[in-house]
Every structure is written in structure tokens, then in C-alpha cells.
Structure 1
């Protein structure tokens, strides 16, 4: 996923950064098992605004917050920063709907997950 023909990271990669930032946050806090968890979050909505290019080998830093916490869904907002730049290179969002893995049907956000998400809710 190095630079594209225009000399920067392609826009689709930014969505991967968003997903990685949120999943890493949840995994590190012990509330997401992407391989064996019975309850998982599916992305149902996403968007991104681009302000400046990120190019390999830049270091990318991500900041995340919870903008809305519903019964079975959560809206994350993510900002991506290039190297030590004070302003974000991109800002976006995505919405997870929590589902039972076997049925793919929505379920309430598990209490342990909700408790973690509340720590970054604005």
C-alpha cells in the first residue's frame, strides 16, 4: 500500500487507517476478538474529507472519538495526522452496527464495549 501513481497514499487506504485505528483501540482494551467474538461490528456508513496528502514513508497518527452511541450502533469520528503536522490530513467517520456473528442480526452493544466507548464519547 505504498504511494500510488500520483505520489501519495490512495484515498481508499484512508478508510483502512480508520478501521485499523478503531479496531486497535477496541482490541487493546479487550473488548474485540475479530476472529472468535460472537458479537462484531459491521461498518454500514463511512465518509472522509481530505485536506493534505499522506505519502509513504510518512508516519500516520490517528485520533478517534465517539460522536454518537446508540443501542446497537456507534458513530466514530477519526482524524489522521501526517508526521508531526498540527492539522489533520484527513477527517472522517464510520458507523458500526453490532451484530451477532452467526445470524448477522443487530444486537445491543455489549455492556463492556459500551463502557469503553463512553470513555471517548464527546
Structure 2
């Protein structure tokens, strides 16, 4: 788009929590870096790992689950196997039934994101798939990483 300026990559300290990502040989594409679709798997894994570790998500039995309704990513520097990657997360918007997460991907010891994006979960009843208010324990865990 004419006139659009490129975003500035986020820094490590812009995020509140994180987890290590293990890159795999098959994540690389023919261009010699991680395929763009893999970044979205990493976003989802980082957030769900945080929720599981905090005890507010049981992927097999939770009555309320988060469904992704929006996602985006900006790429600033390539990541390739066998890079070590840290996925850092934060909550950018906390609603009644939805949450927008920000995720930054950091290669090695770098403190500037190689990629950064966000995605929105709408929390729904597992069976009816109807939106439901965030339970107080989930809301409390999300408030810990809200910016």
C-alpha cells in the first residue's frame, strides 16, 4: 500500500510471559527459513501452553474453550532451523467473552522480535459453541499478562 509505514519490531520487555519453541527441520521451506504458516502454530501453542500451565485450560475436558476468530503476523527477520526461539505473550485486549493476545517471536538471545502478531480467541461453550463470559480464574490469569 502506498504511504504505509512498516511497523517497528516489538522488544522482549513488551511481553509478560513466554516459552521456548523447538524448531524442526521440516518447518523450513524451500527459501531457507521457517514457513510463514508455522508462525501461527507457534502463536497458538504459546498461548495455550500458558493457559495450561496456569491451570485454566484442560484441552480435553474444559467446558469453555477459545476459538480463534482473527489472526495476523508481521515478519521482521527470518527464523530457520535450528534456531532457538522464545515465544513471548501478552494480552492486548480483554473483553467479556474474548481476548486478543499479542505474541512476539524472538530468535536466540535477540531482544527484538523476528516476528510479531496477534490473535483473538472468543471463548465458547464446548458443546453449544455459543460465546460465554470468561470465568473468574481465567480472567485473573489473563489480567497478569495484560498490557
Is 2:78 aligned against 1:53? yes
Gaps of 5+ in 1: none
User: 4+ residue stretches of structure 1 with deviation over 3 A?
Assistant: none
Alignment check: 8 A CA contact 2:90 2:102 kept: yes
1:25 aligned partner: 50
Residue by residue over 1:38-90, the C-alpha shift from the partner in whole angstroms, topping out at 9 and shown as x without a partner, is 10000000000000110011011011110110000000001000111121100
1:11 aligned partner: 36
1:40 aligned partner: 65
Is 2:81 aligned against 1:66? no
Aligned residues: 122
Deviation at 1:36, TM superposition (A): 1.2
TM-score (norm 1): 0.98
2:104 to 68, 79, 87: 79
TM-score (norm 2): 0.81
Alignment check: 8 A CA contact 2:73 2:118 kept: yes
Alignment check: 8 A CA contact 2:88 2:105 kept: yes
Gaps of 5+ in 2: 1-25
CA distance, structure 2, for counterparts of residue 53 and residue 61 of structure 1: 14
